[in-house]
Amino acid sequence: MSVKGRPIDLPERNDLSISTYGDDNDLMESFYEPDPDQDLYDSSNDSANDQLSWISWFCSLNGHEYYAEITEEFIEDDFNLTGLPAIVPYYREALELILDVEPDEESMSKIPDVSIIEPHAEMLYGLIHQRYILTKQGLQQMLEKYEAGHFGHCPRVYCGRCRVLPCGRYDIPNQESVRMFCPSCLDIYVPPSSRFLNVDGAHFGTTFPHLLIKTYAGLAPETPEKTYTARLFGFRVNERSDVGPRVQHMRMKAPPEVTQGRSFQMLTNSSTVQRREPKTSESKDIFEGMEGIEEEISESDDDENVNV
């Protein structure tokens, strides 16, 4: 083990070699490639790692670029760790490993091999990380990573390389790996490289990306002006077709002058809708187009066998 400020000599982590992208892996990498001016993480220098704390060492590992470095003051506050002892095995030993605390003789006799504690320390750090990035200090760290392009860009063409944010679909660990949220199309995507498939989505949680966008209002990107239209020999494919686009209307967003220029009064179990027409002619065309989509959807509820 080690004293304060000196990391424990742990074996290097093996990168996950399983890839779900096959031959398209290089193509996906190009979508998420970081900005050319940003500094890349490098964990290959063992002599430099000897001077790092456990937290800095963990965040510098290949595939851990999304993590923020949690301050020791945050981890040492018991209030921030409420409920975690019941979730993480070997909680006390894992916490000592994270904080570079030299264990007592009793702990060393119970756990002779430090590698047993390492996965539990990673799990504990990830759950603390989920809480830390929701604080003011944590949000600021993640904002710097976001602006530097550390998280990559949305692979959707019409999002115009909008920067994405890491998130999870679950707050409970060991459910699913991390996903990337695009604030432009409001959709999530699988990370570009297989090395991120070993990162638990619960380490970022379901709240973080939306809280960051709400906290820093200037980050919200402009609404995409276009959506892809499927065509056969130049003719648009009807959405009700078996081969047509699915829920395309969900990607269509009216501009602010449309949403502010109409009011809805939805009545329970009734299709009665009261609207105030938009003022500009351009907004009126968009408004009427969205009306037509709503009518087509309502007509297709009971029609399951409509073809092109």
For 186-199, what is each residue's pLDDT tens digit?
999 999 888 899 99
To 5 degrees, how large is the angle CA 169–CA 173–CA 177? 55
248 and 171 in a common domain = no
Kindly tell me the sign of the dihedral angle through the C-alpha atoms of 5, 8, 11, 15.
Answer: negative
Nearest Cα neighbor of 194 from 13, 14, 15, 34 is: 15
172 and 26 in a common domain = yes
* Higher pLDDT, residue 281 or 22: 281
236 and 127 in a common domain = no
pLDDT at residue 269, as a whole number:
42
- The answer to whether the pTM exceeds 0.75 is no
What are 129-170's pLDDT values in tens digits? 999 999 999 999 999 999 999 999 999 998 889 999 999 999
15 domain residue, yes or no: no
128-132, 192-196, 239-243, 282-286 — which is least confidently predicted?
282-286
pLDDT at residue 61, as a whole number:
92
Domain boundary among 165, 190, 219: 219
What are 91-119's pLDDT values in tens digits? 999 999 999 888 766 666 666 677 889 99
225 domain residue, yes or no: no
* Higher pLDDT, residue 122 or 259: 122
208 and 64 in a common domain = yes
| Cβ atoms within 10 Å of 237's Cβ, excluding its own | 16
Nearest Cα neighbor of 193 from 7, 3, 4, 28 is: 28
200 and 238 in a common domain = no
3 domain residue, yes or no: no
Domain boundaries, position 267: 231-299
pLDDT level of residue 275 (50, 70, 90 thresholds): very low
pLDDT level of residue 298 (50, 70, 90 thresholds): low
Query: What is the overall mean pLDDT for the chain?
Result: 74
To 5 degrees, how large is the angle CA 50–CA 53–CA 59? 100
Nearest Cα neighbor of 195 from 67, 14, 16, 12 is: 16
Q: What's the mean pLDDT in 43-54?
A: 62
Domain boundary among 193, 219, 245: 219
116 and 250 in a common domain = no
